Amino acid sequence: MGEDNADELRELGEQLQDASTVLQVQEIRNAWLGRKGIITARLKGVALLPVEERRQAGQQWNSVRLAIETMIDDALARLQNQEEILQLEQERLDMTIPGIEPAVALLHPLTRVRRLVEDVFLRMGFTLSYGPEVESEWYNFEALNIPPNHPARDMQDSFFVDIPNLVLRTHTSPVQIRGMQAAAGQLPVKIIAPGRVYRRDDDPTHTPMFHQIEGLVVDHKISLADLQGTLLAMTKDLLGSDIRTRFRPSYFPFTEPSMEVDVTCAACNGTGCRVCKGTGWVEILGSGMVHPVVLRNGGYDPKQVTGFAFGLGIERLAMRIFELDDLRLLYQNDLEFLSRFSRYTGRPAL
Ligand code: DAH
């Protein structure tokens, strides 16, 4: 490379140094390597040289061109990087600025109540578990000690599906079996299972689709006292520490012994009114000690472990919390009605 090439490269270097934007570098590239560029002209000039000199001059200018390209590419990369950093600086987001609360999209009261209940149990160390809404008869009935022809099947008033052996689940209890199977012998099993359930009912206190939350605890030496303590903690947490709770003996095929839990009616504070049909109490859940057959169907040995279970009606609880006497109001999508409950935080004491 001759002396004049070195001068040219130096000059280019200076131009590139002075360039502060990608655009300027692109202009420089044009001036040197473009169709009418300095180097292009030199390369064209090679063709006019005497034959003996062409080869060497051609090689020389080509390597100058390569060097120039490298310099320009480097400058471009440097500036692009700088411009990116600058852009990022300018577009910096302050993630700590509070968001704008949208005027729409209130949580439905049932969603609110479900989340409150979930929250109570998650704080007690339960984990969430889910099962299908179209369920096999085995999970929905047999596995839960409800044999074919058992009167409980009639009680449940199921929606059967055209495909044999399938029902719309009538309760969330099948998730007890699925949860135990998924735990595969591990202890403790400590799950809650929220979801939709379906029964052929339709009146002011029953809709064909409604929501339950199932709970299941299986471990060594789980007792009825654990069940009662857990449920008392829940009712106090959800409904306030003044709430009175009543445990009533009951019957379910999948628990032994079984009990139902009532809380004082919110509408009349326990004195008796239309909402509680004069009794002062409203039922919110069924529960009991897990039946040995159910433990076995979940893959656990009833001689080694015991468990308790409960099934809570979310609508029932919502009616209790919001003092509703007609459950169907919750399903009419009346925004005025639904938004009445939008500020409810579930902390009656506060
Ligand atoms: N599955 C019952 C129902 O839908 C509710 C229930 C009762 C669930 C007792 C339980 C339980 O887990 O132990 O009526």
Q: What are the φ/ψ torsions at residue 256 (nearest 5 degrees)?
A: -155, 115
Whether the CA torsion 295, 201, 331, 275 is positive or negative: it is negative
The Cα-based distances of 276 to 92, 163, 251, 255, 263 in angstroms read 58, 40, 21, 26, 10
Task: Report helix, strand or coil for 287.
Answer: strand
Please give the model's pTM, rounded to 2 decimal places.
Answer: 0.70
Rounded CA-CA distance 230/190 in Å is 12
Beta strands at 189-198 and 255-264: parallel, antiparallel or unpaired: unpaired
Residue 136 tokens read as 């096999």
pLDDT attached to residue 273 = 86
Beta strands at 127-128 and 189-198: parallel, antiparallel or unpaired: parallel
Buried b (16+ CB within 10 A) or exposed e, 235-274: bbbbbeeebebeeeeeebbbbeebbbbbbbbbbbebeebe
- 214 CA: nearest ligand 1 atom: 12
Q: What are the residue ranges of helices labelled H in the chain?
A: 3-18, 22-33, 38-46, 51-90, 109-123, 137-140, 151-156, 174-183, 224-239, 292-297, 314-322, 335-339
The pick from 171, 206, 285 for probing ligand 1's pocket by mutation, whose C-beta has the most ligand atoms within 8 angstroms, reads: 171
pLDDT in tens, 153-200: 776 678 888 898 899 999 999 999 999 999 999 999 999 999 999 998
- 254 CA: nearest ligand 1 atom: 13
* Ligand 1, residues at Cβ distance < 6 Å: 171, 173, 214, 252, 255, 286-288, 309-311
Nearest CA to ligand 1 atom 8: 311
Ligand 1 centroid–CA 160 distance in Å is 20
Beta strands at 209-219 and 189-198: parallel, antiparallel or unpaired: antiparallel
Nearest CA to ligand 1 atom 13: 287
Ligand 1 centroid–CA 336 distance in Å is 33
Ligand 1 centroid–CA 40 distance in Å is 87
pLDDT in tens, 305-347: 999 999 999 998 888 888 787 788 889 888 888 888 776 666 5
The size of the chain, in residues, is 350
Q: Which stretch of 2-16, 64-78, 279-293, 305-319 has the lowest confidence by average pLDDT? A: 2-16
User: How many Cβ atoms sit within 10 Å of the Cβ of residue 195?
Assistant: 19
Rounded CA-CA distance 333/231 in Å is 32
Residue among 254, 260, 249, 252 at smallest CA distance from 292: 254
pLDDT in tens, 193-222: 999 999 988 877 788 999 999 999 999 999
Residue 123 tokens read as 């704080």
* Model confidence band, residue 47 (pLDDT cutoffs 50, 70, 90): confident
Ligand 1 centroid–CA 295 distance in Å is 15
Ligand 1 centroid–CA 167 distance in Å is 17
pLDDT in tens, 257-277: 999 999 998 778 889 887 788
pLDDT above 60: residue 109: yes
The pick from 167, 310, 316 for probing ligand 1's pocket by mutation, whose C-beta has the most ligand atoms within 8 angstroms, reads: 310
HEC string for 182-250: HHCCCCCEEEEEEEEEECCCCECCECCEEEEEEEEEEECCCCHHHHHHHHHHHHHHHHCCCCCEEEEEE
pLDDT attached to residue 196 = 97
Rounded CA-CA distance 289/223 in Å is 8
Using only the alpha carbons of the chain, give its radius of gyration: 38
Domain boundaries, the chain: 3-90, 109-341
Q: For domain 109-341, give its CATH number from 3.30.930.10, 2.40.50.140, 3.40.50.880, 2.40.170.20.
A: 3.30.930.10
Ligand 1 centroid–CA 348 distance in Å is 27
Rounded CA-CA distance 302/220 in Å is 10
Nearest CA to ligand 1 atom 12: 310
